[in-house]
Amino acid sequence: MGMYEDVFRAAADDPESFWLTAAEGIDWDVAPRRALDSSGAPFYRWFPDGRLNVCFNALDRHVEAGRGEQPALIHDSPVTGTRRTYTYTQLRDEVAAFAGGLAQLGVEQGDRVVIYMPMVPEAAVAMLACARIGAVHSVVFGGFAPHELAVRIDDAAPKVVVSASCGIEGKRVIAYKPLLDRAIELADHKPEKSVILQRPQERAELGKDDVDWADLVAAAPPACCVPVPSNAPLYILYTSGTTGKPKGVVRDGGGYAVALHWSMGAVYDVGPGETMFTGSDVGWVVGHSYIVYGPLLAGATTVLYEGKPVGTPDAGQFWRVTAEYGVKTMFTAPTAFRAIRKEDPEGSLTADHDLSGLRHLFLAGERLDPETYHWASALLDIPVIDHWWQTETGWPIVANPVGIEAAPVKPGSATRPLPGWDVRVLDRSGDPVPAGVDGAIVVKLPLPPGALPTLWNDDDRYIASYLSAFDGYYLTGDSGHIDDDGYVFVMGRTDDVINVAGHRLSTGSMEEALATHPDVAECAVIGVADALKGQVPRGFVVLKAGVSRDATEIEAELVHIVRERIGAVASLRSVTVVAALPKTRSGKILRKTMRGIADGRDEPIPSTVDDADVIELLRPVLRGEDLTP
């Protein structure tokens, strides 16, 4: 594909030609003659005159090209002891059948479908079925509690919800139907129907508005692919905001398909017939892009894994999957490797499996700490590649593009910006900072294909959240620096969204949950550095005057409230009752100062502090030296 500098320069100097050439990797019903439409800036649109169907590109075209018997999707579930391989023909037929079922329920082009499912093949089938008929899917992670699901139902206003009777977390079977029923009860918007996949581990009792998946498919004719405009939304994926209302990231089909197909070869070095194993969940952007759409657009084989990196049953499962299915490229979060290392520090379980086919390990979701990088590199003796991107961007911003040219690795850096991304670091005034100096990491507009064009039904919030801080730039919300060689070092978040094991979670949402407790006067949640998960949330609450109950009892109730409202994914297991929270004179809680102290830094006390004694009293609590207020 040419050397990195040549490809990067081609994308920067003539993005129109570069992306139109990349678009030739996709089959179009109407091929685009223009790459970028800037007429509505800052709302940019890619391939505005093109028409396509993303499902056709992911499935049908590979069958028509004579590769229908090639494995498309492998479902490996150690928690149920089952494995199944779908060829491209089989997966196409399953998707067409379910798409026909959705059409029978009245789902049409532009309608929304919320998908609330565990890691089963039917989750991918439902996503692709929506794409097949031009509907817009919104996948909600199965671990979210009814309140969070209800908020997303209200925002997306789906005609249909697709779910399963249960999910499996380790050895626990979690009934999904009661959670879904409660969410619909809480939501103002009421979906017309819920389609339920019955799993043998626990069957659900169906109500009058519920439809059994198997019955629906059996009675429906298969659906054909519906061509839609390139800019039509393919899906909505909600990401935590700093307020209670989640942000619905919109993904357009044309730009996304082009970018993902290009990235599969250029970044991940995966092509037709090769196998990629992405250890994530379809509820997150990584699952959307590199479990489902990316590998299938490239004609590769993708592994959809229902289990954990450890404990289902041991820390050797990723090695087993890699060996059994001939995985060439693995992609997961650093937290997964920290968990594996914790259970098997010597990496002895790799000896049981032939990993000779594994060429690359990609890690993303939070900063890859150098210790984990060195451990994985020494254990596997292959390139271990840190890369950086976001729900909003849909595919990597910064990476080591092994399909173009592998660059020397610098531990702690995700390497250099990929072609199409113009990454800068600015100070608070919007001026560029010198090499090696930390600042706000931004991307010069326009963003390349595949990145969000806006937020669902909220153009104003899109501008306020991402484009208002620095004119002409997308604000990533991350801070860091670029060194003299152009390597990008992402050091952390600049807002109050924390990164727990690769999952971006809003501390604001957790604070809202804590504040619902009748004994709580005020509260703060901060992300504290954690060796395994990158960050974990810690809550601090001040009780109302006159409350005399046992603090330990209240703390346990608060942990339960957050779990109930947000779900176990929040990982908030530590809430401490304190006498006061440190604030500025204007009343703002000094969360950054609290985070620094909790992480062990000698954090300076801001000049704006209202009462410095509050910080000193809180310091041992934040550092875990004394958990009494």
What span, in angstroms and rounded, lies between the C-alpha atoms of 295 and 272? 8
Confidence of residue 589 (pLDDT cuts 50, 70, 90): confident
Can you name the residues that pair with 302 across neighbouring β-strands?
Answer: 73, 276
Spatial contact of 513 and 541, defined as CB atoms under 8 Å apart = no
What span, in angstroms and rounded, lies between the C-alpha atoms of 265 and 402? 9
Q: How do residues 372-389 score in pLDDT, each as one tens digit?
A: 898 999 999 999 999 999
pLDDT over threshold 80, residue 529: yes
DSSP 479-490: EEEE-TTS-EEE
The residue whose two tokens read 């969410």 is 183
- Specify the 3-state DSSP secondary structure of 267: coil
Q: How large is the average pLDDT for residues 415-439?
A: 95
143, 291, 337, 376 from 362: Cα distances, Å: 25, 13, 11, 11
pLDDT over threshold 90, residue 602: no
Confidence of residue 335 (pLDDT cuts 50, 70, 90): confident
- From the list 195, 190, 192, the residue with the least C-alpha distance to 211 is 195
What span, in angstroms and rounded, lies between the C-alpha atoms of 193 and 270? 39
| pLDDT at residue 504 in the model | 61
DSSP 190-256: --SEEEEEPBTTBPPPP-TTEEEHHHHHHHSPPPPP--EETTSEEEEEEE--SSSSPEEEEEEHHHH
The least confident of 421-430, 443-452, 587-596 is 587-596
What span, in angstroms and rounded, lies between the C-alpha atoms of 590 and 587? 9
Confidence of residue 530 (pLDDT cuts 50, 70, 90): confident
Give phi and psi for 123, each to the nearest 5: -65, -45
